[in-house]
Amino acid sequence: MIEINLLPPEMRKVDRTSLKRLLCMVVAVVLVSGSLIAVSLSFKRYHAESARNASLSEEVARLEPLAREYDVLSAEIQEIQTRITTIAEIKSTRLRWGRKLDQLYTILPEYVWFSKVELKQTRGRGLQAAGSTSALTLECFVAGADEKRYAEFRRILSGEVVAEGPYTGDDFYVDFDELGYSGWSREDFPATEEGVALKFDLELPVKPLVAPVAPKKVVRPVVASN
User: Is residue 134 within 8 Å of 121, Cβ to Cβ?
Assistant: yes
User: Is residue 64 within 8 Å of 225, Cβ to Cβ?
Assistant: yes
DSSP H helical ranges for 94-211: 97-107, 147-158, 169-173
Cβ count within 10 A of residue 80: 10
> Of 81, 185, 106, 198, whose CA–CA distance to 146 is shortest?
198
Q: Which of 22-36, 83-97, 133-147 has the lowest mean pLDDT?
A: 83-97
Choose between 3 and 150: higher pLDDT.
Answer: 150
Burial class (CB in 10 A: 0-12, 13-18, 19+), 121: exposed
Phi/psi at 205 (5° precision):
-65, 135
State how far the Cα of 87 lies from the Cα of 176, in Å rounded to an integer.
23
Give pLDDT, residue 29. 81
Give pLDDT, residue 214. 52
Which helix (H) or strand (E) segment is 198 a member of? Answer: strand 196-205
Cβ count within 10 A of residue 107: 25
> Of 115, 141, 101, 126, whose CA–CA distance to 207 is shortest?
126
In this predicted model, what pLDDT tens digit does every residue of 70-121 receive, in sequence order?
888 888 898 898 888 767 665 655 667 788 888 888 888 889 999 998 888 7
Q: Which residues contact 34 (CB under 8 A, 6 or more apart)?
A: none
Q: Which of 10-14, 137-141, 147-151, 159-163 has the lowest mean pLDDT?
A: 10-14
pTM for the structure as a whole:
0.48
User: Is residue 206 within 8 Å of 193, Cβ to Cβ?
Assistant: no
- DSSP-derived pairing of the beta strands 196-205 and 132-143: antiparallel
Give pLDDT, residue 99. 84
